[in-house]
């Protein structure tokens, strides 16, 4: 693949051309020249777009595509296409499928479905067999097959001894254990944040305590085992405090937050819109502010869309019975731009790769081209026409967003949005 990108502003603090408007020559998938002006002598494909900016390729640490088993929600092929159109060159795929991805063969299967794609797929294997929380899955075998971490998607490990053994075992091969932060006996049948709104709406509450107890427990176990853990999608102010203290003690812990937990509170539940039924639930404004502060000071390591396509039959029902989840790949950039500067947004979208053993490439001469193209300034209302996913269950429908991805150049391929 050969291409010439014209008049692009580079947003990459690790590039010698950071903040400069330049031309970028790509030959055979590698950046061969960056300069103020490059002539298209070989008649390569020319990419010239309005207010074009480029950065390192973006990464999402938590996406679900459904396949195998839930292809009506999303397929791997269309999920990766959606990720590319949304500006992501790499995604970590959850074991949120049927059957659950919990063996060497399963990891090999999902990797084969993503071969020769512009977007790189990094599978996360289930931590326990069938994600049932009873017996460890084939962690070492899955690691050899290419699993980058181990996680029972949105299923808490209720047995603390099992969590201890998982951390001890995985440390033998530098495996990353992911533990969902919820104490199920405390959360019970709660479907929304336990607070004033849950009482007003007559919906069962899932208290912040359920998350915080599990985070505290896992951090104690981590300290004992000296293992390596990632806590996904935290949602409370106290969780931020707990992880901040653990990092001060030099524990090997990272964490993420879902984008929707940064911007929405449980006040949006007044209309019982099931697109806002997510796990962990939407919390309070105090929690949102603490999460944003945690991102600013580095306590929270990465942001995820927690992209989870759900078919309409599982969403257009009573709130209590609707499935948890919202899609988020397509809206991620525009939402973050409403909160942070472009520089900070790009930093957020490009960090976290090393935690998942993914190599980082910068926008410099000689590097393999793994870049995202975007316009940071365009504003628009997000609607179904902006959704590439098979499922349309977005919490961000009708929201005003700032900034749009144009596409990506990665794996010796180009994906560009129309227009």
- Rounding to the nearest 10 degrees, give the CA dihedral for residues 293, 296, 298, 303: 90
State the chain's maximal CA–CA distance in angstroms.
Answer: 68
* CATH code assigned at 267: 3.20.20.140
* CATH code assigned at 18: 2.30.40.10
Residue 353 C-alpha from the chain's centroid: 11
Is 326 a domain residue? yes
Q: What is the mean pLDDT of each run of 10 residues along the chain (419 residues)?
A: 97 96 98 97 96 98 96 97 98 97 98 97 98 98 98 98 98 98 97 97 98 98 98 98 98 98 98 98 98 97 98 96 98 98 97 95 97 98 97 98 98 87
245 and 105 within one domain: yes
Give the count of beta carbons closer than 10 Å to the beta carbon of residue 160.
Answer: 13
173 and 36 within one domain: no
65 and 49 within one domain: no
Q: Which domain holds residue 323?
A: 57-356
21 and 32 within one domain: yes
212 and 115 within one domain: yes
105 and 8 within one domain: no
CB-based contact 78:64 (threshold 8 Å) = no
Is 388 a domain residue? no
Number of domains in the chain: 2
Is 392 a domain residue? no
| 85 sits in which H/E element | helix 76-85
80 and 32 within one domain: no
278 and 148 within one domain: yes
pLDDT for residue 419 = 46
d(C-alpha 50, C-alpha 203), whole Å: 47
134 and 14 within one domain: no
The pTM score is: 0.96
d(C-alpha 180, C-alpha 234), whole Å: 9
14 and 125 within one domain: no
State whether residue 28 is helix, strand or coil: coil
Please state whether the peptide bond connecting residue 99 to the residue before it is cis, i.e. omega within 30 degrees of 0: yes
306 assigned to active site: yes
Is 384 a domain residue? no
Residue 157's φ and ψ, nearest 5 degrees, are -85, 100
Is 394 a domain residue? no
339 and 297 within one domain: yes
Q: State the catalytic residue, choosing from 152, 301, 306, 311.
A: 306
CB-based contact 94:151 (threshold 8 Å) = yes
Closest alpha carbon to 291 in 278, 273, 276, 304: 304
337 and 404 within one domain: no
b/e 193-214 (16+ beta carbons within 10 angstroms → b):
bbbebbeebebebbbbebbbbb
């Amino acid at each position: 693949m050969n291409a010439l990108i014209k008049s692009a502003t580079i947003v990459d603090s690790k590039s010698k051309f950071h903040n400069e408007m330049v031309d970028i020559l790509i030959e055979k998938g590698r950046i061969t020249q960056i300069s103020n002006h490059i002539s298209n002598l070989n008649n390569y494909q020319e990419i010239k777009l309005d207010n074009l900016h480029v950065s390192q390729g973006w990464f999402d640490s938590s996406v679900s595509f459904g396949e195998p088993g839930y292809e009506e929600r999303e397929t791997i092929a269309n999920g990766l296409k959606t990720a590319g159109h949304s500006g992501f060159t790499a995604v970590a795929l959850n074991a949120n499928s049927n059957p659950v991805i919990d063996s060497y063969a399963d990891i090999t299967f999902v990797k084969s479905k993503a071969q020769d794609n512009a977007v790189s797929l990094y599978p996360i294997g289930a931590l326990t067999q069938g994600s049932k929380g009873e017996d460890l899955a084939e962690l070492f075998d899955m690691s050899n097959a290419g699993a980058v971490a181990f996680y029972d998607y949105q299923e808490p490990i209720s047995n603390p001894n099992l969590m201890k053994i998982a951390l001890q075992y995985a440390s033998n091969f530098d495996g990353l254990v992911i533990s969902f932060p919820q104490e199920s006996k405390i959360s019970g049948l709660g479907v929304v944040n336990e607070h004033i709104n849950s009482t007003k709406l007559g919906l069962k509450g899932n208290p912040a305590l359920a998350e915080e107890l599990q985070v505290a427990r896992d951090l104690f176990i981590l300290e004992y085992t000296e293992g390596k853990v990632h806590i996904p999608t935290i949602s409370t102010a106290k969780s931020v405090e707990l992880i901040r203290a653990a990092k001060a003690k030099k524990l090997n812990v990272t964490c993420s937050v879902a984008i929707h937990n940064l911007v929405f509170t449980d006040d949006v539940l007044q209309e019982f819109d099931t697109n806002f039924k997510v796990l962990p639930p939407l919390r309070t404004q105090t929690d949102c502010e603490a999460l944003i502060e945690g991102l600013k000071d580095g306590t929270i390591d990465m942001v995820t869309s927690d992209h989870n396509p759900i078919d309409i039959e599982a969403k257009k029902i009573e709130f209590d019975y609707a499935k948890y989840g919202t899609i988020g790949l397509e809206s991620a950039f525009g939402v973050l731009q409403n909160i942070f500067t472009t520089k900070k947004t790009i930093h957020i979208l490009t960090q976290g790769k090393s935690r998942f053993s993914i190599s980082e490439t910068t926008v410099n001469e000689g590097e393999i081209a793994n870049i995202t193209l975007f316009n940071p300034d365009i504003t628009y209302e997000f609607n179904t026409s902006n959704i590439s996913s098979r499922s349309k269950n977005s919490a961000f429908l009708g929201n005003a967003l700032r900034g749009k991805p144009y596409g990506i150049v990665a794996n010796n391929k180009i994906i560009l949005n129309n227009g």
